[in-house]
Structure 1
Amino acid sequence: MNKSLLAVAVASLLSPISNLHAQQASADETMVVTANRFEQSTESVVAQVEVVTRQDIDRIQAKSLTDVFRRLTGIQVSQNGGRGQQASIFVRGANSDQVLVLIDGIRFARAAKGGVDFSQLPITFVDRVEYVRGARAAMYGSEAIGGVINIITVANSDNEKTAVSAGLGSLDYEELSFVSGTKVGENGHLNVSVGYDSDEGYNVHPMPGINDGDRHGFESRNALIGYVHNFDQQWSGFANFRMFETISQYDGSYVDYVTGAPVHSYKEAEVQNSTFAAGVKYSGSELKSDFLVNYQNQDNWNYEQSLGKNSASATSDELEQLNVQWVNSYKLTSALTLSGGVDWRDEAYIVKPSNTEYDRTNVAYFAALNADADKLFGELSLRVDDNEQFGTETTYNTGLGYRYAEWLVVKAAYGTSFKAPNLYQLYSYYGNAQLEAEKADSFELTFGGLIKDVDWSITGYDTNVEDLIDYNYATSKYYNTDGESQLRGVEMVVGFDTSFINHQVSANFQDPEDQSGEQLIRRAKKIYKYNAVVSFDEVDVSLGYQYVGERPDFSEDLAAYSLFDVSVNYYANENLTLNGRVDNLTDEEYETAGGYPSPERTYYVNATYQF
């Protein structure tokens, strides 16, 4: 990390990733678009926000998005084993399907069962991640209870460099990528990204005497092409296409409950996802307006590897989603911005081979007023979602911040949110067409500031969720629970420099409870994280540490664990960078999902040539 980047990191509301946002004025403001759907300085955002740049991703040598998320404040990762296995996250105790995931500002079409599997999303074409904690339904609608994660790709980047990267690692890991950005004429810009990675894996669900010797690996291919054209200083247009295909092996072995005989099952899951987006943008001195259309299609297969995906026992489904959105912002004065727009979405769930199709349409209107004066800043937003399946939901959010001094900034926010039942929960064999949307209200209070070059913040939050959707194993149906689930906690973040070392420390103390007062499955009450970057002229070293406390699972309690990861980057010259990474440095034995041991110590090496 160079000196200017260290200065930015110290002058920001620091997170476990080096580029968190400034709460006090600085010459190097961090700008975000995710919090309120228009570009603004993080100093004017009431919510807690973190930004991860491509440089951050490369510095820690992240092999997947879960590697990035593990370092972020308030996030806990749960995964059924190693690379390519199903991975979900919890944000401040909120479930994975209560966290809205965007790709380039558009809702990502979820898997059939509703939760985004982060192990499937390729990191090759990721340019930036913006992470907003807390309720954002008044901006985005369903699922934005715990927060919003916006994965911004290289599709609209103005980068004019080309890089080729190759790497090897433990478990026969291989990776190869090509990313290029170039000008086309005077007013155009073309971005291309292609990536491949795979590993042979290990036995992620060992059952002695049944699946001995099995290895559950992963293979991914991805590509992206994007073009941006500037018609003049105010008008621009864009079009892009991206796709990824993943194949992962997993264990389906079991003991027959009638005969008691073991049954070996070696299965594969295949995902094919493609997305096309196009739009136009107007950017004037006061008015900014974006109009875009986005179409997503995802096919999913599950089958016995020996039989293939065309076998009679294979299962498959298809998910389609068409989005149209129009977002506007107008600067009323130097301190006031009015924004609003329309979101239209049609989504379909298709069960194969019968080709039974279930679909629904959602139309939403939203408006917001944001203020940023000398001492005060705040936001007020309202959204109405009209869904043909579950009716109308109205959500709102209000927040106020006060800059008392450099050493103290106070922020408070209150918002309502909801999560609509997904199409699988409604219409599958296990579905319940009478399900209602989950509803939540959230309050948070933050104190932060800069004291003698130590950046600090403390946030308390309280979220209550009604009508939580759960699965009844007795009836094999989804249902709405009675009572309220409560997600309460305190998160503390501190960042500082000592000589050439940048330190980031966070601690989360949370109490995620279901309607019966029991601790929610797989959610720890204590999470500690420490991240450091040691910078020299030609070398930087990144160290990551996390402690996750014990937590209940379906049939057993999961033990607490501590993990150390380290990565080294050697900048041989202006073109060539050599990298090394060690995950689970102390070879800790741990599980984030019961019965699925996480990887042992693993090693990776990588070389990147840029021209």
Structure 2
Amino acid sequence: MKTCVFYARPAALSLALAAAFPAFSQSPAASQLSETVVTASRVATPVTDVIADVSIIDREILERAGQSSLRDILAQQPGIQMGSNGSYRSNSSIFLRGASNSQTIVLIDGVRVGSATSGGASFENLPLARIERIEILRGAASALYGPDAVGGVIQIFTREPAEGLALSASVGFGSAGQRQADALVRGSAGAIGYSLGVSREKARGISSVSNPTSTSFNPDADGFTSTSVDAKLTAKINREHALTLSFLHSDTEYQFDGLPSPNPLGLTKLTSDARAKPKLNNATVRWDAQWLPQWKSTLTAGTSDEDSVSEYYRISDGRFGGSSRFNTGRKQLTWQNDITLDKDVLSLMLEDRSEAVDSSTSYTIKQRNVRSALASYALNRERWNALAVIRNDKNSQFGSFNNWALSAGYRLIDGLRAVASVGTSFQAPTFNQLYFPGFGNPALVPQRNRATELGLKYQQGNVALGAVAYHNDIQGFIIPSTNVQSSLAVLRGVTLSADVKSGATSYSLSYDYADPRSYSSVPASNDLRLVRIAQNVLNARVTHRMGDVSVFGELKLSSNREDAKVVGVGRDTLPGYGVLNTGVSWKVQKDVTLLARINNLTDTQYMLANGFSVPGRNLFASVTWAM
């Protein structure tokens, strides 16, 4: 095994990327200028007119991912870092612009998902095969999406119907007993469209804990199985009205190293077989209505049930040794009206959302409701555009909160725009932060923040370049590891990105400098870097097509990060690392494609969370049939 350490000064990397950008600008004309983004403003907007800092992960990228998980795909995007508690599927955290996992909102087909106890979504339980597209909105977005959107929003769209009839199936095998299969049927008949898919994944896995001194360490392999089903039905009632019904079910079981509490069998770290069983059920009904040429409304009703169950068994005889349960049920009703005024759009929205906890742990309060009202105005002119948003959220526990945002973009020259934004957000404490026995503090109050960002965007032909600097002050920041409410946290950083297509070769490059810190009146807790977040991260991806064959490479370089010690108090420094993935896709016949990829080609040893393993070099190959 090898360890790679990567250190870089932000100024040096910035200059390097800036020097590279002019060479990219020689690429030919674009084919994607008509692409639209919904998440950036809640209204479909051409990507060339979007003010916010957004990324799109399309189906082509997802198909090239092979055995990689959603957390791996997201971690390749600008502004996103990841923490993982071991093996191929395990508890994962996403840090968007340095914000904690609970400070990023995750939506599936417009409906919010995630745990009300921990505050974050279970990324390990969201299957790539069932996803059509992902949009990532970076930056404080509570004015658009309500509480908790401090770092941003990740919106996942499930598979869509196709024209006529489309069938596909794939099967794959890889290292550590990895097996994967999925099937999909999509189509349309007259006014009806449909999509139905199923997938199954399995692996023997690796030991999830790497440090033998950990109280949970068990050297056995921790495997996983995952089954998922999604369905979508669309009906065009007439030219003005359409209905969409969508459903996603995902059921995962993965092993981890841990002990039950209480522990009636007296299990030890070497005799305990711990199994996590996350489950997700997400259902949505959407009614799109064009009441007048200038007035469109969308009514969305959805439910999301996210279960988090852990069970413990004795390895020798399989005897049951205890369990825990942390389940969340959400209901959401959203009515959005978009009124077109010449080139401008006025949006008015009402929303009612509830979340309830069903847990084996006793919580003083188990549910809350949030009622929201939003008004936004998108101003579009020849050389500049702007978006103004105001929102009120009435939280049944903490009262009424107002948030606002103002952003603008100005076209300096053809293809080059200057963009800027300022806005506020707030985040209510999670049920764990408030009421978990021995940890919770019911005196905690919501965190309030103000965020600003300034950037340049260039999009011309097949070239898209971006540079964004951001600063986010969070008053009353709740430190995740200690549950202490500090006086302030500051999330600041710079993101540089480039996406270029030159002939048969596509390039994607991003660099992030992040310096999130918390400040407190207690000297020992003052001016601390937030844990598990590196200051410097470079992501690069190159794809080259040679007729029916495509070869690709993916590179991640990360500087060091800090995390809590495995044993005792204080912090350890986790070394920087470099990871290289490579692969090839070959369209053997019109309907048959072979994929082979190697992740972590150099077998680099590194950690995303102190004491936890990550996979070493692993191979995967699959065959896909699509008609």
The residue number in structure 2 matching 1:79 is 84
Query: What pairs up with 1:392-431 in 2 under 5 angstroms?
Result: 392-406=400-414, 408-429=416-437, 430-431=439-440
> Does residue 446 of structure 2 align to residue 442 of structure 1?
no
Q: In percent, how many aligned pairs have the same letter?
A: 25
Structure-2 residue corresponding to 1:193: 197
* 8 Å Cα contact 2:552-2:583 kept in structure 1: yes
Pair 481,70 (structure 1): closer, same or farther in 2 beyond 3 Å: same
Tell me the equivalent position of 1:331: 340
Partner of residue 49 from structure 1, selected from 43, 54, 60: 54
Task: Give 1:374 deviation, angstroms.
Answer: 0.6
For 2:318 and 2:446, the matched residues in 1 are separated by 34
Instruction: Give the total of aligned pairs.
Output: 578
Q: TM-score, normalised by structure 2?
A: 0.87
The answer (yes or no) to whether the contact 1:303–1:309 under 8 Å persists in 2 is no
Could you tell me which amino acid in structure 1 is paired with residue 467 of structure 2? I
Distance 1:164 1:84 in 2: 23
- Tell me, in whole angstroms, the C-alpha distance in 2 between the residues paired with 1:400 and 1:252: 50
Q: CA deviation at 1:355?
A: 10
580, 596, 607: which is aligned to 1:564?
Answer: 580
**Aligned-partner SS, 2:532:** coil
Partner of 1:18: none
Residue-by-residue CA offset, 1:207-260 (whole Å, 9 max, x unaligned)? 549855411111101111221111011101122222111101000169xxxx9x
Amino acid at match of 1:456: L
How far is the alpha carbon of 1:447 from its aligned partner?
1.5
Q: State the SS of the aligned residue for 1:55.
A: helix
Q: Is the 8 A contact 2:109 2:284 kept in 1?
A: no
Once residues 37 and 400 of structure 1 are traced to their aligned partners in structure 2, the CA distance between those partners, rounded to angstroms, is 16
Whether 1:249 and 2:255 are equivalent positions in the alignment is yes
Partner of 2:283: 276
Match of 1:183 among 182, 188, 191: 188
The Cα of 1:606 is off from its aligned counterpart by 0.5
Q: Deviations over 1:488-514 (max 9, x none)?
A: 111111333455322222111121111
Look up the SS of the partner of 1:124 in the other structure: helix
- Rounded to whole Å, the distance in 1 between the matches of 2:481 and 2:461 is 54
SS class of match (1:36): coil
Alpha-carbon distance in 1 for matches of 2:302, 2:282: 7
Does the CA contact (< 8 Å) of 1:349 and 1:424 recur in 2?
Answer: no
Residue of structure 2 in register with 1:8 after alignment: none
| Structure 1 residue 382 displacement after superposition | 0.5
Which amino acid in the other structure matches residue 341 of structure 2?
Answer: L
Aligned pair in 2 of structure 1 residues 274, 480: CA closer, same or farther (>3 Å)?
same
Distance 1:266 1:84, change over 3 A: same
C-alpha displacement of 1:393: 1.2
Answer yes or no: is the 8 Å Cα contact 1:494–1:505 preserved in 2. Answer: yes
CA–CA distance in structure 2, aligned partners of residues 452 and 606 of structure 1: 34
Pairwise CA distance, 1:418: 1.3
Q: 2:592 aligns with which of 542, 563, 576?
A: 576
Distance 1:157 1:134, change over 3 A: farther
Q: Mark the runs of 5 or more structure 2 residues left unpaired by the alignment.
A: 1-28, 261-265, 520-525, 566-571
Offset of 1:73 from its aligned partner?
0.6
Decide whether the 8 Å contact of 1:165 with 1:609 is kept in 2: yes
Contact 1:358 1:427 in 2 (8 A): no
Structure 1 pair 148–579 and aligned structure 2 pair: CA distance change class (3 A): same
Query: Contact conserved, 1:445 with 1:459, CA < 8 A, in 2?
Result: yes
Cα distance in 1 between the residues matched to 2:61 and 2:332: 31
Residues 157, 51 of structure 1: CA spacing in aligned structure 2 closer, same or farther, 3 A cutoff? farther
In structure 2, relative to structure 1, the CA distance for the partners of 1:357 and 1:395 (3 Å cut) is: closer
How far apart, CA to CA, are the structure 2 residues paired with 1:557 and 1:36? 39
Picking from 65, 90, 98, the partner of 1:93 is 98
- Residues 1:364 and 2:372 aligned together: yes
Of 148, 162, 180, the match for 2:167: 162
274-283 vs 396-405, which moves further: 274-283
Q: Is the 8 A contact 1:376 1:400 kept in 2?
A: yes
| Counterpart residue number, 2:619 | 603
Whether the 8 Å CA contact 1:155–1:192 is kept in 2: the answer is no
Contact 1:74 1:91 in 2 (8 A): yes
Normalised by the length of structure 1, the TM-score is 0.89
Instruction: Give the structure 1 partner of residue 475 of structure 2.
Output: 466
Supply the distance in 1 between the matched residues of 2:161 and 2:136 (Cα, whole angstroms): 19
The answer to whether the aligner puts 1:549 opposite 2:559 as a matched pair is yes
- How far apart are the structure 1 equivalents of 2:454 and 2:33? 26
Structure 1 gaps of 5+ residues are: 1-23, 474-478
Aligned residue type for 2:516: P
1:344 corresponds to: 352
> Alpha carbons of 1:425 and 1:200: their partners in 2 closer, same or farther (altered >3 Å)?
same
Partner SS state of residue 138, structure 1: helix
Task: Give the letter for the 2:41 counterpart.
Answer: N
Q: Is the 8 A contact 1:44 1:378 kept in 2?
A: no
Report the aligned-residue RMSD. Answer: 2.7
Report deviation, 1:89: 1.2
The answer to whether the 8 A contact 1:211-1:253 is kept is no
Pick closer, same or farther for the CA change 1:82–1:177 going to 2, 3 Å. Answer: same
Which amino acid letter does the alignment assign opposite residue 431 of structure 1?
G
Cα offsets for 1:389-433 (capped at 9, x unmatched)? 111111100011100102531001001011111223223323222
Distance of aligned partners of 1:588 and 1:513 in 2 relative to their CA distance in 1, 3 Å threshold: same
Q: Secondary structure, in 3 states, of the residue corresponding to 2:128?
A: coil
How far apart are 1:77 and its partner, in Å? 1.3
Deviates more, 1:141-150 or 1:309-318: 309-318
Tell me the distance in 2 between the aligned counterparts of 1:452 and 1:35.
22
Distance 1:36 1:415 in 2: 14
The aligned counterpart of 2:140 is 135
Question: Taking structure 1 as reference, are residues 138 and 159 closer, same or farther at Cα in structure 2, changes over 3 Å only?
Answer: farther
Residue 495 of structure 1 corresponds to 499
- CA shift in 2, pair 1:354/1:157, >3 Å: farther
Q: Distance in 2 between matches of 1:25 and 1:601?
A: 36
* CA shift in 2, pair 1:344/1:25, >3 Å: farther
- What SS is found at the alignment partner of 2:63? helix
2:242 corresponds, among 236, 244, 257, to 236
What residue is the counterpart of 1:223 in the other structure? Answer: 229
Q: Distance in 1 between matches of 2:319 and 2:398?
A: 36
Separation (CA, whole Å) in 1 of partners of 2:232 and 2:486: 47
Structure-1 separation of matches of 2:382 and 2:319: 64
Contact kept, 8 Å, 2:233 with 2:245, in 1: the verdict is: yes
- 1:523/1:233 Cα in 2 relative to 1: closer, same or farther (>3 Å)? same
**Counterparts of 2:144 and 2:272 in 1: how far apart (Å)?**
45
Cα deviation 1:274-310 (Å, max 9, x = unaligned)? 1222131113532221112111223322121338999
Aligned partner of residue 139 in structure 1, secondary structure: helix
Instruction: State the SS of the aligned residue for 1:57.
Output: helix
Letter in 2 for 1:558: L
| Contact 1:342–1:366 (Cα < 8 Å) also in 2 | yes
How far is the alpha carbon of 1:466 from its aligned partner?
Answer: 1.2
Alignment check: 8 A CA contact 1:156 1:238 kept: no
AA aligned opposite 2:624:
T
Matching residue within 517, 528, 544 for 1:518: 528
The letter of the residue matching 2:622 is N
The CA deviation at 1:354 is 7.5
| Aligned mates of 1:27, 1:195 — CA distance in 2 | 30
CA distance in 1, matches of 2:387, 2:426: 20
How far residue 124 of structure 1 moved from its aligned partner, in angstroms, is: 1.5
User: How far is 1:365 from its partner?
Assistant: 0.3
CA contact (8 A) 2:209 2:219 kept: no
> 1:203 Cα deviation (Å)?
0.9
SS class of match (2:83): strand
Q: CA 1:233 to 1:399, structure 2 compared with 1: closer, same or farther past 3 Å?
A: same
Aligned to 1:298: 306
Deviation by residue 1:291-333 (Cα, 9 ceiling, x = unmatched): 1211122332212133899956211132111111111111111
User: In 1, Cα distance between the equivalents of 2:449 and 2:161?
Assistant: 35
